[in-house]
């Protein structure tokens, strides 16, 4: 994310939305850098999701082989 203001430009990576509020007709929001722990949790969650999909694919393949054996095809 690039933030431009009167003091210059700042570049931030891995930001998260902390809060958003409406005041009158304007919206105000608070952003914060993700902590190392939050980044690690995201990586672990992504790895688990990938592994869960792989296990499902393997289970489907084994079920198809089993059906072929039982069906005599």
pLDDT at 65: 85
Do residues 39 and 72 share a domain?
Answer: yes
Across-strand partners of 2?
11
User: What CA–CA distance (Å, rounded) separates 59 from 3?
Assistant: 47
**Number of structural domains in the chain:** 2
Do residues 46 and 73 share a domain?
Answer: yes
User: What CA–CA distance (Å, rounded) separates 27 from 60?
Assistant: 48
pLDDT at 72: 64
Do residues 39 and 60 share a domain?
Answer: yes
pLDDT at 21: 95
pLDDT at 63: 84
Residue 64 lies in domain: 35-73
User: What CA–CA distance (Å, rounded) separates 39 from 53?
Assistant: 21
Do residues 71 and 61 share a domain?
Answer: yes
pLDDT at 56: 77
10-residue block means of pLDDT along the chain (73 residues)? 92 93 95 92 86 75 83 66
User: What CA–CA distance (Å, rounded) separates 53 from 26?
Assistant: 43
Do residues 49 and 64 share a domain?
Answer: yes
């Amino acid at each position: 994310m690039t933030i431009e203001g009167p003091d210059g430009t700042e570049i931030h990576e891995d930001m998260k939305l902390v809060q958003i509020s409406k005041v009158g007709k304007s919206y105000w929001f608070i952003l914060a850098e993700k902590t190392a722990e939050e980044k690690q949790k995201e990586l672990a969650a992504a790895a688990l999701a990938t592994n869960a999909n792989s296990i499902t694919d393997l289970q489907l393949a084994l079920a198809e082989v089993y059906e072929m054996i039982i069906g005599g095809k």
